[in-house]
Chain A
Amino acid sequence: MTHPGITATTGSHPPRKDAASRHGRARSRTGALFVTPYVLFLLVVFAVPLVYTLWISVHRFYFTAPGTHADSPWVGLSNYKDVFTDPVVGRAFLNIAVFLVINVPLTVVLALVLASVLNAKIRFRAFFRAAYYLPYITASVALVAVWQFLFGADGFVNNLLGSHAPDPSWLVNSHLAMPMIAFFVTWKQLGFFVMLYLAALQNVGKELYEAASVDGAGRVRQFLSVTVPGVRPATTLVVIYAIITGANLFSEPYLLTGGGGPDHASTSPVLLMYQKGIEQGHPDFAAALGVVLVCFVLVISLAARKLTEKGN
């Protein structure tokens, strides 16, 4: 049967299919047009610098004035050897490991618990949601001032503790500096992760809770048996996102502990990249360190994904 409004045409292809194909191509072109700016953005801002970083990391390289000549000889893996033999790099990765061990589980647990509470019908729910989100959207510089007021050598907490205050104080103590940064970042970013979990909780069916209730499950059992498995995809996202942002830690140690703290107690790999590449004029070392960091993040993100999706 032919549609009354369409005149049959001759040719090797049926007319409807041909029109659909043309329509599909046109849609595809429009899509490509819309995607092009972002592809360009990715190429210019991400892909080109990444390739350039790889190139720098295998050459002896330093930045020079434009238009002037400087030799950049191929040095193979020499910069990587320097990275792997530098004790400060080892310390920086150890610091990040300490950070992630504290920050990631704490973020997941606190964010999920708070999201569950904020998802329930409680008084002043909107206020609490905004209150938890506020530190996330506040500039680190402003929050660092608050943290220093609390945990500085002469700060509020030490005044309360008196002779029980740690010596050296929190932010310059080589054992406490990194945990303090981990707690700071957890607190600062919690609002964002609470928001992710709140969105995920909307997809957990009410009937599951009702069924669990009928089966005699209490609130804790419901949380463990319904909420936790129900938001598992969000947990994967939260864990990977927390790992990526944690591994790229820069402004907190830079601002909170005066650029890495005593004896590099809070130096992070990205802070070290900045110090080596910008302050000390070794962009080749910094580039190699950056490549190592990318690999590190990839490996632990993949491992974390496997772990969180286990038993799905």
Chain B
Amino acid sequence: MLRRTAYALLVLALAGAATACGRPAPDPEDAENARGPVKVWLSNNAQEVAWGKNMIAAWNRSHPGQHATAQQIPAGKTSEEAISASIIAGTSACLVFNTAPASVPTFEKQNGLVPLSDFPDGDAYVQKRGGALTEQYKSQDGKFYQLPWKSNPVMILYNKKIFKKAGLDPEHPRLATYSQFLKTSRTLVHSGAAKAAIWPAPSSEFFQSWYDFYPAFAAESSGEQLIQHGKPQFDSPAGRRAAAFWRTLYAEKLAPQEAYPGDAVNDGKAAMATVGPWAVSAYKDSVDIGVAPVPTAAGKSPKDTYSFSDEKSAAMFSACHNRATAWDLLKFATSAQQDGKFLDATGQMPMREDLTARYPAFFAKKPLYKVFARQAEHVVEVPNVPGSVDIWQAFRDEWTKSVVFGDGSTDAALRRASDKISRLLDEYGDPS
């Protein structure tokens, strides 16, 4: 009797463990036309959360029976990890307004995303809203799995007070060329005005290159992506110049080799940072901010200078049961009216063309953002290729070794990274 009970308990436990591993996925055909309650996840940026709550409240007022709820993405080291875990568990929200394009190929592979192109007006809506910039967000099968939602074009933000303390002109900073940038950095550090001229995270996480190398490479190469036409582009004169520039910053201790545990700019430890417009409102009470384009070797006019977009998309996830409602909500949240409210609340740039003409009142009221809005028209995205995370990690490993810690030549490091990434592209391109 007891033996039978023990066996029964064992079977029950194993069955329970097996079924607890995942929730059943909704049938795509039923879900596509289904309406009802939907869940939305937002980033943890305070202004963005405030906008999201207001947007959801506006939706709920006019859509009884299709109730939406919003919350921040569950905690994780990064949003991408939290989203990936939720895909595997079948617990992701219908819509996530913080999807990194570099992770989209991974989410696709996990069958976690709903192709927006499958909605009758899907492609038309995405392309109409985003204009010419939209094409780079298409996946390899030609479909959109993400709606390019907002960009935070990376620029050089500097602390005017620290510049003044170092005897530099805060209204006309000399930051356009590599030699000017280095000279200004030396003055900032050697004068004791700041511990670091600039302090990006020197750590090995794959995404850290988006805030040191990639903006510099985009600017120096006049808008090339890391990979184009299936080939790495950075083992080039432009890439080598950008890498050499950063190596000098680290070698001369103008940029520290150890990650700062807090916010170096906010704490007055660093005079500059490579950040997007989100930082304007974040620092408004603590730092007197100035903004400059990313430097290049010879210097370029701001309107010809490219940078990294630091874009985040909105995406629909396959755990969503009421996809017709989710699609309507996605269009509502990215409408011209809501984009205006989003811009006003957060200072981040909706992925639309000609922002300054579309929202003139905002830019007249807050001219500092106009610089970012212009930069938003000259940005490059991470390449939308399978194995994106592996590719960035391969690059970052070589970068930290040679550029941050000065081990070996940067040219050789770029060559090794390029070779490794070429092999990864071959592997991912040939799933057999």
Known contacts A65-B318, A65-B319, A263-B397; is-contact A174 B405 (Cβ 8 Å): yes
Kindly report which residue of chain A lies nearest to residue B257, judged by CB atoms: A168
Number of residues on chain A facing chain B (CB within 8 A): 40
The answer to whether B106 and A281 have CB atoms under 8 Å apart is yes
The answer to whether A153 and B13 have CB atoms under 8 Å apart is no
CA distance A39 to B195 in the complex (A): 58
Task: List B contacts of A172 (CB < 8 A).
Answer: 202, 257-258, 405
Task: List B contacts of A260 (CB < 8 A).
Answer: 204
Q: Which of A28-36, A99-107, A221-229 contacts B (4 or more CB under 8 A)?
A: A28-36
The answer to whether B22 and A169 have CB atoms under 8 Å apart is no
A273 to chain B, nearest CB (A): 14
List residues of B (98-156) whose CB comes within 8 Å of A's CBs.
106, 109-112
Known contacts A32-B6, A172-B257, A280-B390; is-contact A66 B21 (Cβ 8 Å): yes
Contact of A259 among B25, B106, B205, B397 (CB under 8 A): B205
The answer to whether A66 and B24 have CB atoms under 8 Å apart is yes
The answer to whether A70 and B111 have CB atoms under 8 Å apart is yes
The answer to whether B21 and A153 have CB atoms under 8 Å apart is no
B203 contacts partner chain A, Cβ-Cβ < 8 Å = yes
The answer to whether A40 and B205 have CB atoms under 8 Å apart is no
Task: List A contacts of B407 (CB < 8 A).
Answer: 174, 263
User: Hey, what's the 0/1 contact readout for B331-362 against A, CB within 8 Å counting as 1?
Assistant: 00000000000000000000000000000000
User: Hey, what's the 0/1 contact readout for A33-51 against B, CB within 8 Å counting as 1?
Assistant: 1001001100110001000
The answer to whether B405 and A279 have CB atoms under 8 Å apart is no
User: Hey, what's the 0/1 contact readout for B393-408 against A, CB within 8 Å counting as 1?
Assistant: 1000100110011010
Known contacts A66-B24, A264-B204; is-contact A36 B6 (Cβ 8 Å): yes
The answer to whether B397 and A264 have CB atoms under 8 Å apart is yes
Known contacts A66-B90, A278-B81; is-contact A153 B256 (Cβ 8 Å): yes
CA distance A63 to B318 in the complex (A): 14
The answer to whether B258 and A153 have CB atoms under 8 Å apart is yes
B10 contacts partner chain A, Cβ-Cβ < 8 Å = yes
A154 contacts partner chain B, Cβ-Cβ < 8 Å = yes
A96 to chain B, nearest CB (A): 18
The answer to whether B14 and A44 have CB atoms under 8 Å apart is yes
Known contacts A36-B6, A264-B204; is-contact A67 B90 (Cβ 8 Å): yes
B56 contacts partner chain A, Cβ-Cβ < 8 Å = no
User: Hey, what's the 0/1 contact readout for B22-56 against A, CB within 8 Å counting as 1?
Assistant: 11110000000000000000000000000000000
Contact of A68 among B2, B206, B318 (CB under 8 A): B318
Known contacts A43-B14, A262-B202; is-contact A281 B401 (Cβ 8 Å): no
Give the most central of A36, A63, A65: most B CB within 10 Å: A65
Kindly report which residue of chain B lies nearest to residue A283, judged by CB atoms: B88
Task: List A contacts of B412 (CB < 8 A).
Answer: none
CA distance A245 to B261 in the complex (A): 27
Task: List B contacts of A153 (CB < 8 A).
Answer: 256-258
The answer to whether B405 and A263 have CB atoms under 8 Å apart is yes
Task: List B contacts of A32 (CB < 8 A).
Answer: 2-3, 6
A116 contacts partner chain B, Cβ-Cβ < 8 Å = no
The answer to whether A65 and B10 have CB atoms under 8 Å apart is no
List residues of A (144-178) whose CB comes within 8 Å of B's CBs.
148, 152-154, 168-169, 171-172, 174
Apart from A65-B88, A154-B195, list 10 A-B contacts with CB within 8 A. A36-B9, A40-B10, A63-B88, A148-B261, A169-B257, A258-B203, A261-B204, A262-B405, A264-B397, A281-B110
Closest 4 pairs between A and B when the two form their complex, measured CB to CB: A66-B22, A67-B25, A68-B111, A258-B203
A-contacting residues of B (Cβ < 8 Å)? 2-3, 6, 9-10, 13-14, 17, 21-25, 81, 84-85, 87-90, 106, 109-112, 195, 201-206, 256-259, 261, 318-319, 389-390, 393, 397, 400-401, 404-405, 407
Please list 18 pairs of residues, one from A and one from B, whose beta carbons are closer than 8 Å in the complex, sorted by A's number: A32-B3, A33-B2, A36-B6, A43-B10, A44-B17, A48-B17, A63-B87, A65-B319, A67-B24, A68-B318, A153-B256, A153-B258, A168-B258, A258-B259, A260-B204, A262-B404, A278-B81, A280-B393
